[in-house]
Amino acid sequence: MTKARAGELSVLPRSFYRRPADKVAPALLGRYIVRREAGARLILRIVETEAYLGAGDPASHAWGGRRTARTSALFRPGGCAYVYLVYGLHHMLNVVTESEEEGSAVLIRAGEPVAGERAMLRNRGLVEPIVGGALAGGPGRLCQALGIDLDDNRSWLDGESLRICRGRPSSPSRIVAAPRVGVDYAGEAASWALRFVERENPNVSRPRPW
């Protein structure tokens, strides 16, 4: 676990998110998610993301301009969180991109522990230190490790309790693009290379595209 340095903890400006999701997604690799929880600071370095392009993307919750109570946060301005529940069990953390009403976002799929690993283990309901990469490898695990739930839906990602900071951006040569996970229902869009991972990073979820 590498220590976070001061410059790495400056928050990303909202303008960072005001561009297409397929540009934001790779640019988020290496950034730090910083969670404040009861005085403790939990930090994950982002190592895997997926872009969801909005109304024109059959895999997106905004497909065809669909808009419901659950997905309303997806239509907020870039820089907000969109959190929802799948399978009745797992929370998913998304970053809204572009300007409001676009319905585009980036799903945060995996992170590498930088600080607060103890608290994350507790949040996961684990006692023993974790086996390689599984602490926050996967979107459900990541949310559980950080204690993210529907209370975080609609919040800005530059706030006290949850923010994304500059971190150490992944070098472009180590970024791999691949099809998104779990979107077989989306037809041809299931093969679009909108999943971005840091190559060889053990925290990346399955299947590993390298």
Partner DNA sequence: CGGAAGATCCACT
Partner DNA sequence: GTGGATCTTCCGA
Nearer to DNA, 47 or 59 (CB): 59
Closest CB 7 distance from DNA, rounded Å: 30
Nearer to DNA, 11 or 190 (CB): 190
For residues 9 and 56, give the distance between their C-alpha atoms in angstroms, rounded to a whole number: 35
Asked whether the beta carbons of 24 and 184 are under 8 A apart, the reply is no
Residue 71: both structure tokens together:
């997905």
Contacts to DNA by CB under 7 A? 50, 52, 59-61, 66, 68-71, 74, 85-90, 92, 94, 105, 107, 124, 134, 138-142, 180-185, 205
Q: Which of the 8 DSSP states describes residue 98?
A: S
Nearer to DNA, 16 or 52 (CB): 52
Closest CB 5 distance from DNA, rounded Å: 29
Judged by DSSP in three states, 10 sits in coil
Residue type, 46: I
Closest CB 40 distance from DNA, rounded Å: 21
Q: Is the dihedral of CA 137, 162, 19, 61 positive or negative?
A: positive
Closest CB 70 distance from DNA, rounded Å: 4
